[in-house]
Amino acid sequence: MPLNKTETKTDKFSSSVPASNKVIISSNNNQNISRRVPFTVVEAYKTIRTNLLFLLGRSSNHVLTFSSSNAGEGKSTTSINVAVAFAQLGGRVLIIDADMRRSSIHKKLKLDNSTGLSNVIAGFCEYKDAITNYNSNLDILTAGPIPPNPSEMLGSPEFDKLIDNVKNDYDYVIIDTPPINVVSDALVIAPKTSGLVLVVRTGFTPYDSLEHTISSAKFANISILGTILNGSNPTSSRYYKYKRYNRNKTYDTYNYKYEKK
């Protein structure tokens, strides 16, 4: 089955999520899953949560890096939905938007982004002052204003300090990052966390792109916890297919000006 091609020796699970562009939390309430989202989608995220719970086990590091090969594959949507699934267990969950060049968590959740991760790393404020309490279980650290040097910021001791703090303060932390084939940020972040969750989008992620991503992660000695096949449709013949085209074409509309590989 072609899906197996995505699996690596370090790949511990492979789950799929049906097509849905919705974040599963209601924007106007504080607890419940949005009624607009199909049952199968909500269940798919619960399965992913179960897989991750088993993988994290008794480890004290419950910080997860979410990334993918290219832009638009569903990293941010998936990060939010997995975080919501974790928050429903009743613990404390934090989402960090570490895609400072093209942040979208605040847009999807309709939050203010005037203070966020970039301000915290720059030392302008304490991280707790930059957090939005979305509901009693879910906190969000939006990306903040676009800094001139996102990669250096993410590689700084201040970012390490933030990770140490949130590791202690939350039960689960999900970090949404930029695409691996475009900038190195996710590869800088992932080693500080319990591992990388790779989002692959059905009919969109070119197979050679994914191959490139996996070899970059392996080269950086990063543990790939698993893959999420986003937008799967079990009734479609395209279920396990990846698009094959010039990798660079997928970057055309992306705002990664200064570190294109």
Binding site for Mg ion (CB under 5 A): 75-76, 104
Cα gap 83→30, rounded to integer Å: 14
Q: Rounded to the nearest whole angstrom, what is the least distance from the CB of residue 126 to ligand ADP in the complex?
A: 27
Q: Which is nearer to ligand ADP, 26 or 165 (CB)?
A: 26
Q: Residue 68 in 3-state DSSP?
A: strand
Closer CB to ligand ADP, 167 or 243, in the complex: 243
- Strand ranges (E), 40-171: 63-68, 93-97, 132-133, 138-141
Contact call for residues 73 and 205 (beta carbons, < 8 A): yes
Residue 180 CB, nearest distance to ligand ADP (Å)?
A: 11
CB of 98 to Mg ion, least distance (A): 10
Rounded least distance, CB 237 to ligand ADP, Å: 17
**Closest to ligand ADP by CB, 104 or 227:** 104
Cα dihedral sign for 230, 182, 113, 159? positive
Straight-line distance from the first to the last Cα atom of the chain, in angstroms, rounded to the nearest whole number:
31
DSSP 153: H
Partner interacting with residue 68 (select from Mg ion, ligand ADP, none; CB below 5-8 Å by kind): ligand ADP
**What's the closest the beta carbon of residue 17 comes to ligand ADP, in angstroms?**
6
Cβ closest to ligand ADP, residue 59 vs residue 103: 103
Tokens 């990063």: give the residue: 222
User: Which of residues 9 and 110 has its CB atom nearest to ligand ADP in the complex?
Assistant: 110
Distance set, CA 244 to CA 136, 201, 204, 249 (Å): 43, 12, 8, 11
Per CB under 6 A, residues contacting ligand ADP are 17, 19-21, 68, 71-77, 104, 230-231
